[in-house]
């Protein structure tokens, strides 16, 4: 029998409704950090907890597809609107996944 190496499967990023300073927010659990953002999309107010994390670092709105960079809050595509409000960022100590 040969040796083999196995990696524990990584859980996909997930979104968790929460609050920050009494305001609704969404905690986005990434590989190496938890990014907390405003609960509503700055375009038309979609609930971002129902959005999708794309490529481990981008949040796509569930209504019209605006996509925000979770490192900066900048809108990268989708309908014109203000950038996403990032209200907190907490490193988890996990190493980021290789590109």
Q: Which residues bind ligand FES (CB under 6 A)?
A: 41, 43-46, 61, 63-66, 78-79
Using DSSP, state whether 64 is helix, strand or coil: coil
Q: Judge contact between 38 and 85, C-beta under 8 A.
A: yes
* Closer residue to ligand FES, CB minimum distance, 31 or 57: 57
How far is C-alpha 76 from the chain's CA centre? Answer: 14
* Closer residue to ligand FES, CB minimum distance, 46 or 87: 46
CB of 62: closest distance to ligand FES in angstroms?
Answer: 7
CB of 68: closest distance to ligand FES in angstroms?
Answer: 9
CB of 47: closest distance to ligand FES in angstroms?
Answer: 9
* Closer residue to ligand FES, CB minimum distance, 39 or 46: 46
Residues 21 and 4: their CA atoms lie apart, in Å, by: 48
Q: How far is CA 38 from CA 9, 20, 35, 54, 86, in A?
A: 29, 9, 10, 18, 7
């Amino acid at each position: 029998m040969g040796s083999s190496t196995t990696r524990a499967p990584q859980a996909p990023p997930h979104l968790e409704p929460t609050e920050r300073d009494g305001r609704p927010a969404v905690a986005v659990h990434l590989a190496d950090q938890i990014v907390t953002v405003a609960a509503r999309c700055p375009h038309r107010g979609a609930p971002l907890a129902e959005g999708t994390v794309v490529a481990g670092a981008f949040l796509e709105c569930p209504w019209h597809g605006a996509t925000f960079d979770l490192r900066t809050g900048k809108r990268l595509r989708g309908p014109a609107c203000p950038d996403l409000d990032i209200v907190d960022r907490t490193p988890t100590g996990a190493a980021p996944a290789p590109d």
